Amino acid sequence: MEKTTLSIPNISCGHCVNTIKNELLEIDGVSSVDGDPEARQVTVAFDSPATIDKIRQALKEIDYPAE
Protein backbone atom coordinates (compact mmCIF):
# COMPACT_ATOMS: atom_id res chain seq x y z
CA MET A 1 0.00 0.00 0.00
CA GLU A 2 1.18 3.45 -0.88
CA LYS A 3 0.46 6.52 1.25
CA THR A 4 0.87 10.13 0.20
CA THR A 5 0.13 13.52 1.75
CA LEU A 6 -1.00 16.28 -0.58
CA SER A 7 -1.16 20.00 0.08
CA ILE A 8 -4.49 21.47 -1.06
CA PRO A 9 -4.63 25.26 -0.63
CA ASN A 10 -8.41 25.66 -1.11
CA ILE A 11 -9.38 23.50 1.89
CA SER A 12 -11.03 25.83 4.39
CA CYS A 13 -13.24 23.59 6.56
CA GLY A 14 -14.35 20.11 7.48
CA HIS A 15 -16.98 20.19 4.72
CA CYS A 16 -14.18 20.58 2.15
CA VAL A 17 -12.41 17.56 3.63
CA ASN A 18 -15.64 15.50 3.48
CA THR A 19 -16.17 16.44 -0.16
CA ILE A 20 -12.61 15.34 -0.98
CA LYS A 21 -12.99 12.09 1.02
CA ASN A 22 -16.23 11.18 -0.74
CA GLU A 23 -14.75 11.81 -4.17
CA LEU A 24 -11.43 10.03 -3.62
CA LEU A 25 -12.98 6.97 -1.96
CA GLU A 26 -14.87 6.34 -5.23
CA ILE A 27 -11.55 5.64 -6.99
CA ASP A 28 -10.81 1.91 -7.18
CA GLY A 29 -7.84 1.15 -4.95
CA VAL A 30 -8.18 4.11 -2.56
CA SER A 31 -8.61 2.65 0.93
CA SER A 32 -8.54 5.72 3.18
CA VAL A 33 -8.52 9.50 3.08
CA ASP A 34 -7.73 11.65 6.10
CA GLY A 35 -7.82 15.43 5.96
CA ASP A 36 -6.61 18.30 8.11
CA PRO A 37 -8.34 21.59 7.23
CA GLU A 38 -5.97 23.65 9.39
CA ALA A 39 -2.88 22.26 7.66
CA ARG A 40 -4.73 22.22 4.31
CA GLN A 41 -3.59 18.67 3.64
CA VAL A 42 -5.06 15.27 2.87
CA THR A 43 -3.37 11.92 3.33
CA VAL A 44 -4.44 9.18 0.94
CA ALA A 45 -3.71 5.45 1.24
CA PHE A 46 -4.09 3.51 -1.99
CA ASP A 47 -3.16 0.43 -4.01
CA SER A 48 -3.34 -0.37 -7.70
CA PRO A 49 -5.32 0.42 -9.82
CA ALA A 50 -5.32 3.84 -8.13
CA THR A 51 -2.37 6.08 -8.94
CA ILE A 52 -1.20 9.45 -7.70
CA ASP A 53 -2.06 10.85 -11.14
CA LYS A 54 -5.67 9.60 -10.89
CA ILE A 55 -5.95 11.09 -7.41
CA ARG A 56 -4.56 14.45 -8.54
CA GLN A 57 -6.90 14.46 -11.55
CA ALA A 58 -9.95 13.74 -9.36
CA LEU A 59 -8.97 16.59 -7.03
CA LYS A 60 -8.59 18.96 -9.98
CA GLU A 61 -12.04 17.97 -11.33
CA ILE A 62 -13.73 18.93 -8.04
CA ASP A 63 -11.80 22.24 -7.76
CA TYR A 64 -9.41 21.14 -5.02
CA PRO A 65 -6.17 20.90 -7.03
CA ALA A 66 -3.15 19.63 -5.12
CA GLU A 67 0.08 21.62 -5.15
**What secondary structure, in 3-state letters, does the chain show?**
CEEEEEECCCCCCHHHHHHHHHHHCCCCCEEEEEEECCCCEEEEEECCCCCHHHHHHHHHHCCCCCC
Mean pLDDT over the full length of the chain = 96
Match domain 2-61 to its CATH number in 3.30.70.100, 3.30.590.10, 3.40.190.10, 3.40.1110.10.
Answer: 3.30.70.100
Provide the terminal-to-terminal Cα distance of the chain, rounded to the nearest Å.
22
Q: How confident is the model at residue 36 (pLDDT cuts 50, 70, 90)?
A: very high
* Structure confidence at residue 16 (pLDDT): 95
* Structure confidence at residue 14 (pLDDT): 93
Mean pLDDT within 2-20: 96
